[in-house]
Amino acid sequence: MRNLILILGDQLSRDLSSLRDFDPSQDHILMCEVWEEATYVKHHKKKIAFLFSAMRHFAQELEAEGLPLTYTKLDDPDNSGTFSGEVERAIKRLSPQKLVVTFPGEYRVLQEIESWSTRFDVSVDIREDDRFFVTPDEFADWAKGRKSLRMEYFYRQVRQDHNILMDGDKPEGGKWNYDQDNRKPPEKEMDVPAPYRGQVDDITKDCLDVVADRFDDHFGDLEPFYFAVTRDQALYALDKFFAERFGQFGDYQDAMVQGEPWMFHSHISFYLNCGLLHPREVVKRAEIAYYDGDVPLNAVEGFIRQILGWREYVRGIYWLKMPDYAEENALNATRDLPWFFWTGETHMNCLRQCILETKQNAYAHHIQRLMVLGNFALLAGLDPKQVNEWYLIVYADAYEWVELPNVTGMILYADGGELASKPYAAGGAYIKRMSNYCENCSYKVSQKNGPKACPFNYLYWDFFLRNKDQLKGNPRLNNAYGTLNRMKDEKIEAIRHDAQRFFSTLDD
């Protein structure tokens, strides 16, 4: 046999680089569900069921094309439980001349793959994952010699290189970024369309049964299950976004409403990150929607920036900085993750809503992740390793390459400013402005101190007091430290007292 092609669970694309020269008469495909991947962190139940179902559907489609394929299910009696074990079994059975795999999404998996040539005495061909706009080497070339690696400048470069939303050599509309137009607070009455909800077929039902039986101690609600698990379904979910939500996505992408976890977002990160949708096709369709007059520029630019800007940028940072990036803790944060991150049992309504919706859906939109959950983790000084693990566990779109830079760099400022120019810290006023969570909270967002005050109010200032030595030289924080310098001693003492009282309760 010529080539054994290993397809990973986040590589469910028919035009994958490892499949491009596939010859059914000489080559063979290997796909496997392995215990090690499902449990290296205790992934959300819905996340496991989603990926297993999507993998099985993809394998079925490949077999329908007549492509020879071995698929190992989790409960197969001979399943070794690891990628290496399944690759070794396949090599012994098929004796391939070469093992072919598309570049993986996580550093630990790459290390494992790179060991196979020696371990199994077989040639290993690791091919570029060209589903992305920018390769790790291209990002490294862009980063070389720069004093700061700001996403905005990278995003502009990629827009120019790929001629996306460009008017000649200038950005469409005259501005690169319309973020200032994308910060409208929620209105009292909002007509939010129902999200995509897929049908559970026999394949998905089998996966749900496996997860219910084997992963009962994992976080999250398994049902109801509503993810797209095939490319056709994912394309339909994308169509539904373009038809029903895209027009208001820009205005309200930062808004949060109790009981409306999906809002006007696209909810396609699940499908982009596992390969059912391709970034190029999504960006192209968004661009066409603008030129056809279907959506305003602030919506399409903001949407494209999430894919072409942030998604590509965090992948570049990940491969540029690993493995050291996983150890970053510039603010020396050591507090344990509070138990309520698993239960939602807290009197802070904003946190309760975001955690419970995460538990139910394996999803929360970017402002819930950054400015509620992440903001609390930053202000409370939670241990970056524990916070990273939580984010990797609970979201169905989370893989280390996308999760780690967002959490370590954007949320926790644990890299000391390599990714973000300042910590994304905010008090209760931000959450009140961008949500209706405060209306049903046990705390009062209008109060700055005392037992009934919103904890975000005093934790905000306590964060800057605690981290003064590390942060005071940052020019983007001059206003914050200027305000602190003008505070009376009794006010600072009240902040510290409230924070200590809160942390004592939290630690207990």
Tell whether omega for the bond before 224 is within 30 degrees of 0, i.e. cis.
Answer: yes
Q: Which residue type, as a one-letter code, is found at position 294?
A: D
pTM, whole model, 2 decimals? 0.96
The CA-based dihedral angle spanning residues 310, 313, 319, 323, taken in that order and rounded to the nearest 10 degrees: -60
pLDDT tens digits for range 190-208: 899 999 999 999 999 999 9
Residues 6+ apart with CB under 8 A from 65: none
Q: Is 15 helix (H, G, I), strand (E, B) or coil?
A: coil
Per-residue model confidence (pLDDT) at position 385:
98
pLDDT tens digits for range 376-391: 999 999 999 999 999 9
Tell me the C-alpha distance between 409 and 420, whole Å. 6
Q: Is 23 exposed, middle or buried (0-12, 13-18, 19+ CB in 10 A)?
A: exposed
Cα 311 to its chain centre, rounded Å, is 9
pLDDT(48) > 80: yes
CATH code where residue 56 lies: 3.40.50.620
Tell me the C-alpha distance between 48 and 28, whole Å. 25
Q: How many structural domains is the chain composed of?
A: 3
Tell me the C-alpha distance between 387 and 390, whole Å. 5
pLDDT(118) > 80: yes
Whether residues 7 and 47 share a domain: the answer is yes
Work out the pLDDT band at 31, boundaries 50, 70, 90. very high
- Domain-terminating residue out of 321, 356, 385: 321
CATH code where residue 450 lies: 1.10.579.10
Per-residue model confidence (pLDDT) at position 446:
97
Residues 6+ apart with CB under 8 A from 467: 331
Per-residue model confidence (pLDDT) at position 262:
96
Whether residues 49 and 174 share a domain: the answer is no
Distances (CA, A) of 341 to 88, 262, 346, 466: 39, 20, 9, 23
Tell me the C-alpha distance between 417 and 421, whole Å. 5
Per-residue model confidence (pLDDT) at position 147:
86
Percentage of the chain with pLDDT > 90?
Answer: 96
Q: Is residue 161 part of a domain?
A: yes
DSSP strands (E only) in 362-477: none
Q: Is residue 224 part of a domain?
A: no
Whether residues 87 and 167 share a domain: the answer is no
Instruction: State which residues form the domain around 108.
Output: 3-127
Whether residues 122 and 259 share a domain: the answer is no
Percentage of the chain with pLDDT > 70?
Answer: 100
CATH code where residue 306 lies: 1.25.40.80
pLDDT(501) > 80: yes
Q: Is residue 232 part of a domain?
A: no
